[in-house]
Amino acid sequence: MLSPVLLMVALLTVLTVTMESDHWTADQQEKFCTWQCLKFTLQWPGSFCLGLKNSSQCRIPPNIQTWTIHGLWPSKAHTCCRCWPIFHSDLKELDPELSQLWPSLLKTQSSFLFWKDEWIKHGSCAACVEGMNSPLRYFQICLKLRGRFDIDRALEDAGIKPSCNQSYPGREVLVQVKIPLSQNLTLGCHHKEDQGAEPVPPQLWHTFPGHPCPQDSPVFYFPINHDHPHQPCD
């Protein structure tokens, strides 16, 4: 079932970036910049609410109809620099596109606070790479990656469509897709830091909180329900 998706990903045009940002000191690079792999993570709004302890806090903006961005995460690197602030004005030129492709799905969190949280947790670590060495550049890269990984089209081409009745081999609910990338943003990562975490080539199907799908139980790909996001099939 996954082969059309894997084929689509394998044929994508990839981005390249220059290594080593001048923003980091030698000590900071030695401490925080040893990662070699990233995961570009997308989430399906139709299933997102089902993983929340308080699903009533979920919202899906009316304009959201596709997979949205969750983040671009350097492996085994987390919150590298709280001293690197981000302001809404930093992302002003990207705001319309980010609001469409990277919205907050929580009533208690604005989209900017979601972006700020992702920058602090993950972007500050990705900033070791010159092509992502500012909030603007980091989010520009994420948007470009989203344009290249057309998960909606790949699933549709494979005959996998949102449904309350149709299930597919896998786990219970399809929530996330994680796409492993090398530090230069080429597809896949074979570095030893990721060995044992997930197989290579990677599973593209993950469920909250991110475990690979087994093959002996059904998985549902629920439709988006804007009026009742926590009850997609009511």
Lowest mean pLDDT of 101-115, 155-169, 194-208, name the range: 194-208
Residue 201 has pLDDT above 60, yes or no: no
What residue type is assigned to position 228 of the chain?
A: H
Residues 6 or more apart whose CB falls under 8 angstroms from that of 60 comprise: 45, 46, 48, 105, 224, 225, 226, 229
- 187 to 66, 145, 154, 175: CA distances (angstroms): 22, 11, 16, 21
pLDDT of residue 214: 56
pLDDT of residue 216: 67
Residues identified as active-site = 70, 118, 122
- Tens of pLDDT, residue by residue over 57-81, are 999 999 999 999 999 999 888 888 7
28 falls in which pLDDT band (50, 70, 90)? low
pLDDT above 90 coverage of the chain, percent: 55
Lowest mean pLDDT of 5-14, 115-124, 205-214, name the range: 5-14
pLDDT of residue 215: 61
Q: Please, are residues 38 and 168 in contact by the beta-carbon 8 Å criterion?
A: no
Residue 110 has pLDDT above 70, yes or no: yes
Residue 178 has pLDDT above 50, yes or no: yes
Q: Is 90 or 22 the better-scoring residue by pLDDT? A: 90
Query: What is the dihedral sign for C-alpha 210, 195, 168, 145?
Result: positive
153 falls in which pLDDT band (50, 70, 90)? very high
Q: What is the mean pLDDT of residues 26-35?
A: 67
Q: Is 120 or 21 the better-scoring residue by pLDDT? A: 120
pLDDT of residue 78: 82
Q: Is 168 or 117 the better-scoring residue by pLDDT? A: 117
In degrees and rounded to multiples of 5, residue 44 shows phi and psi of -100, 115
In 14-127, the DSSP E strands lie at 37-43, 68-74
